């Protein structure tokens, strides 16, 4: 498997861990337990911005190259679905983060509305990762040659992950602390 696909696969593992955490946080919130809003907001900020600036654009460049191949034309619907979902996911993460920030600032929102926004985002994100891992990546892996990957590697800018690698502590303090504390889980 190419280094780029491996990197995307690692992003998915990290993302899946964050979605489990977000889901558990929402369970606690809606059960009326104490809830860490900073943690949730940082988590969504990370998903929104790392996905927006790096993960999805990387996938989009790779997908565009792969789906130019004749062998991939029969899978065009998959390409369109993945591209559409990238856009939808971004909007959902953004809206849900704004919702949580609004609550923190004293905005009154219906519980069901908050819960629906959060649960729908988590569900689509999980489903999207599964689709990429199970259907898209194997096809891409077959479609692209070693030479194609070399070209892609030179085209795609490198970006350090601000939570799992570079650790931007000013921006993601609560999230980094939480993940370190629960490392072995």
The per-residue DSSP string of 50-107 comes to HIIIIIHHHHHHHHHHHTTSGGGGGGHHHHHHHHHHHHHHHHHHHHHHHHHHHHHTT-
Nearer to Fe ion, 86 or 117 (CB): 86
Backbone angles phi, psi at 98, to 5 degrees: -65, -35
Size of interface with Fe ion, in residues (CB under 5 A): 1
Residue at shortest CB range from Fe ion = 132
Minimum gap (Å) between residue 12 Cβ and Fe ion: 6
Report the chain's terminal Cα–Cα distance, integer Å.
28
* Most distant CA atoms of the chain, gap in Å: 55
Contacts to Fe ion from residues 90-149, by CB under 5 A: 132
Q: What would the two tokens of residue 143 be?
A: 């479609």
Can you tell me the distance from the alpha carbon of 82 to that of 8, in angstroms, rounded to the nearest whole number?
14
Nearer to Fe ion, 42 or 132 (CB): 132
Minimum gap (Å) between residue 8 Cβ and Fe ion: 6
Nearer to Fe ion, 8 or 100 (CB): 8
Minimum gap (Å) between residue 95 Cβ and Fe ion: 20
Minimum gap (Å) between residue 15 Cβ and Fe ion: 8
Nearer to Fe ion, 137 or 172 (CB): 137
What 8-state DSSP symbol labels residue 134?
I
Nearer to Fe ion, 53 or 116 (CB): 53
Cα separations (Å) of 123 from 20, 85, 100, 118, 177?
A: 11, 12, 18, 9, 26
Minimum gap (Å) between residue 128 Cβ and Fe ion: 7
Distance of CA 160 to the CA centre of its chain: 15
| Residue numbers at the binding site for Fe ion (CB under 5 A) | 132
């Amino acid at each position: 498997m190419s280094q780029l696909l491996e990197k995307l696969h690692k992003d998915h593992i990290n993302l899946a861990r964050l979605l489990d955490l977000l889901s558990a946080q929402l369970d606690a919130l809606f059960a009326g337990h104490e809830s860490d809003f900073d943690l949730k907001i940082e988590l969504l900020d990370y998903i929104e911005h790392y996905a927006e600036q790096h993960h999805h654009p990387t996938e989009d460049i790779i997908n565009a190259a792969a789906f130019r191949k004749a062998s991939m034309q029969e899978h065009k619907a998959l390409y369109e679905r993945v591209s559409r979902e990238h856009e939808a996911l971004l909007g959902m993460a953004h809206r849900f983060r704004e919702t949580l920030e609004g609550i923190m600032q004293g905005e009154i929102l219906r519980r069901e509305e908050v819960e629906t926004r959060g649960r729908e985002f988590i569900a689509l994100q999980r489903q999207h990762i599964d689709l990429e891992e199970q259907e898209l990546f194997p096809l891409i892996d077959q479609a692209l040659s070693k030479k194609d990957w070399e070209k892609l590697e030179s085209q795609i800018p490198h970006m350090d992950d601000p939570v799992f690698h570079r650790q931007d502590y000013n921006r993601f303090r609560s999230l980094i602390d939480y993940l370190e504390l629960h490392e072995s889980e």
